[in-house]
Structure 1
Amino acid sequence: MPYDQSWMGYGFVGGLEAGAISAVAGALLFALFHAIGRRGGWSEARKIGWSYLLGVVLSAGADIGNLFYFNYGRLQSLALLRAKLAEVHDPDNLGTRVFCELVGVGVGIWLAWLAIDWRRRRGRGPAR
């Protein structure tokens, strides 16, 4: 889902900010799918897989789409290319931002999984 990125930094700093947003999205989605999967008898792999897939689509989908378009799309004119590049925040570091978003979703899911597992081991939550 595209969101306003005008406040974000450029270069690796912007990538880290996008990765942090993706990590929060991944953690929230894992918590949601953990609650749904606990009632449905899902395995951990299914919860993690759906959380990662939906997290990537929601938080990195627009940047992945732009990256794919600039690499494989047919650009008929220089004016069209300039118009498309003007819509993208920091097109020079688009690949870095996509990488940080993909890693961020995974890190967020991992941290949420650790928190849920720690809570379960401490005896404060249901077994699964």
Structure 2
Amino acid sequence: MNLPLHTGLLGALEAGLIAFLIGMLVYAGWAWICRRTGLKVGHAIGWGAAIAVAIAAGIDAWNLFYIGMVKLESPLYARLALAGIHDADNLGSRVLLEVVGAMSGTVLGWWLFSGHLAAGHGSSGADGSA
């Protein structure tokens, strides 16, 4: 996320809040698409959560994977790999909070935006009224 975030826990919390907003917006878009095409609410939740995590935590998760899997045998390669990462000391906590933020944003979006999507288009209410 090429934003000038703080470092440490405050930066991780900021990234998680941004991911939360991304999760809500992506779910809202998928809920609209699913209403128009007649898909079930599970499609909106699943695709919304997957895309929100990919958008919000994609680059940081890739950096975390890259640092863990690539052999950085020389100090030069290690310095080059770490130079492109914003706050490499707290990369794991930032990825964790981005994933949690995107997922909880999707769930809150589901709770807010899918009143008649979850109930179905033509079904009656709980008390039997239409």
TM-score, normalising length: structure 1: 0.85
Q: Would you say 1:26 and 2:11 are equivalent positions?
A: no
Could you give the per-residue CA deviations for residues 29-55 of structure 1, whole angstroms, max 9, x where no partner exists? 101000101122212111111011111
Shift of 1:127: 5.5
Q: Which residue identity lines up with residue 2 of structure 2 in the other structure?
A: D
Q: Which runs of 5+ in 2 are unaligned?
A: 122-130
Shift of 1:113: 1.4
Q: RMSD of the TM alignment (CA)? A: 1.9
In structure 1, the partner of 2:102 is 105
In structure 1, the partner of 2:125 is none
Could you give the per-residue CA deviations for residues 43-88 of structure 1, whole angstroms, max 9, x where no partner exists? 2111111011111111111000000011111224210110110111
TM-score, normalising length: structure 2: 0.84
Q: Which runs of 5+ in 1 are unaligned?
A: 121-125
Q: What's the % identity of the aligned pairs?
A: 37
In structure 1, the partner of 2:14 is 17
In structure 2, the partner of 1:43 is 40
Structure label with greater radius of gyration: 2
Q: Report runs of 4+ in structure 1 exceeding 4 Å deviation.
A: none
